Amino acid sequence: MMGRTLSLLAAALLLCSCATAEKATKPAPTRHDALLASADPVLAANKRLVYDFWREVYEAGHLERSEKYLTDAYLQHNPNVPSGRAGFVDFFAKFKKPKPIENSVETPLIAITAEGNLVILSYPKEYPDPKEPSKTYVTTWFDMFRIENGKIAEHWDSALKK
């Protein structure tokens, strides 16, 4: 399982790093319905679960919907966010306020990759250039989720401790 997880993660990161290396700017929006498609109905459902969680809870701030998407024992591997659904809600309630839910994710997704019970969202993020503070650069970020019994049970990203 761990070998497959690492292989999937490495492939997604390679795909994203190549896209980032070729373009120093944010890519054109991708049709999300194409990213959500899969011949495997389980993978399609897992992609949709993560996509709707991102759209409704994370982006629109409807934390009251987290029970629909996150297991109670949700494991968080971002060092800045506590584990547990309650920990997630408490953390994001400090700065996420509910707003209208959009029909599609606002994040400019590059890919939604699914394998087994894992789903990875890949998207560009812009940061200030530490060598030239008046400039920015674009890199690719990822969020990976593990699905268990139709809910998100675990999350990883590349966040550093703040």
Domains (ranges, CATH) in the chain? 2-157 (3.10.450.50)
Residue 22: predicted pLDDT = 43
For 139, the 3-state DSSP assignment is strand
Residue 2: predicted pLDDT = 52
Asked whether the whole model's pTM tops 0.85, one would answer: no
CA distances from residue 64 to 82, 85, 92, 98 in whole angstroms, order as listed = 17, 11, 11, 9
- Is residue 125 classed exposed, middle or buried when 0-12, 13-18 and 19+ CB atoms within 10 A define those classes? middle
- Residue pLDDT, tens place only, 52-88: 999 999 999 999 999 999 999 999 999 999 999 999 9
